[in-house]
Amino acid sequence: MKNNFLTKNAKPIKKLTVILKKHSGRDSSGTISVRHQGGRQKRYYRMVDFKRDKRDIKGEVIRVEKDPGRNAHIALIKYEDNELSYIIHPEGLKVGDKIIASESADINTGNAMPLKNIPIGVSVHNVEMYPKHGGQIARGAGTSAVVIAKEDDYIHLKLQSGEVRKFFPDCFATIGKVGNSEFKDEIIGSAGRKILMGIRPTVRGTAQNPRSHPHGGGEGKSGEGMHPKTPWGKSARGTRTRNKDKWSNKFLVKRRK
């Protein structure tokens, strides 16, 4: 049965939740900077521990919950000092399992440790880009990165996209692959459900009028009639937009393409 490991009727821990504000795609000046964002049901954000900075203290998984704010599930951990925290739920981690974040942790699913202590070939997730900054890489459902090399002062990881990137040896990562990889097979089913998720309709440019979109106008069903453009007249396909001098390029070993 799908997701039968989820704890039934689990209410989120009150002190680990906060109301998630809705900005509907508007920036600080109030103008729409991300289109197709709109009204949605009220959400409570679960404060997930991406840093895993509770070191050398064992914790037990007491339940696995669905998180409305992300496609991955989350696991509620109770540590030996009775503190509670949420972590991203790795595939295979069950209620009752023990985990720990430590320099010398075992290579077990859910344990967190520095990249320098993780053997080559092990899959990891929730990887830090800078030590003590908290995990930023491989946090989505079904994602992971693989340690493929250790050379000079860096650890090389192959990411889900195929990109190979250098990381600092002291960056922490969690062993295993993020669970709920079947989320992408879910069928939304209706436009109404999409609206409740906060996603508003996307209208084709050719279906609009010429004042609203360069592809608009014409009699009946007409094609684009030009090289594809954005609503603001810029080239929509094939034009490279990546900044060549991007600061993170120095950590790239191999591009994803």
Q: What is the number of structural domains in the chain?
A: 1
Q: DSSP letter for 205, please.
A: G
Question: Does the residue 161 lie in any domain?
Answer: yes
Question: Does the residue 164 lie in any domain?
Answer: yes
Question: Does the residue 18 lie in any domain?
Answer: yes
C-alpha span between 46 and 40 (Å, rounded): 17
Owner of token pair 């069903």: 221
Question: Does the residue 168 lie in any domain?
Answer: yes
Query: How many other C-beta atoms lie within 10 A of the C-beta of residue 93?
Result: 23
- Whose CA is closest to 164, among 38, 55, 51, 257? 257
C-alpha span between 207 and 77 (Å, rounded): 51
Owner of token pair 């879910």: 186
C-alpha span between 57 and 133 (Å, rounded): 20
- pLDDT tens-place values along the chain, 257 residues long: 467 788 888 899 999 999 999 999 999 999 999 999 998 999 999 999 999 999 999 999 999 999 988 999 999 999 999 999 999 999 999 999 999 999 999 999 999 999 999 999 999 999 999 999 999 999 999 999 999 999 989 999 999 999 999 999 999 999 999 999 999 999 999 999 999 999 999 999 999 999 999 999 999 999 999 999 999 999 999 988 777 777 778 899 998 87
Owner of token pair 């979109």: 213
Q: What is the pLDDT of residue 240?
A: 85
The enclosing domain of 34 has a CATH number of 2.30.30.30
Structural domain for 126, as ranges: 14-182+248-254
- Whose CA is closest to 112, among 127, 122, 96, 132? 127
Distance, C-alpha 239 to centroid of its chain: 26
Question: Does the residue 165 lie in any domain?
Answer: yes
Distance, C-alpha 152 to centroid of its chain: 29
Residues 141/176, Cβ–Cβ less than 8 Å:
no
C-alpha span between 127 and 15 (Å, rounded): 26
Q: DSSP letter for 10, please.
A: P
C-alpha span between 200 and 194 (Å, rounded): 7
C-alpha span between 93 and 81 (Å, rounded): 21
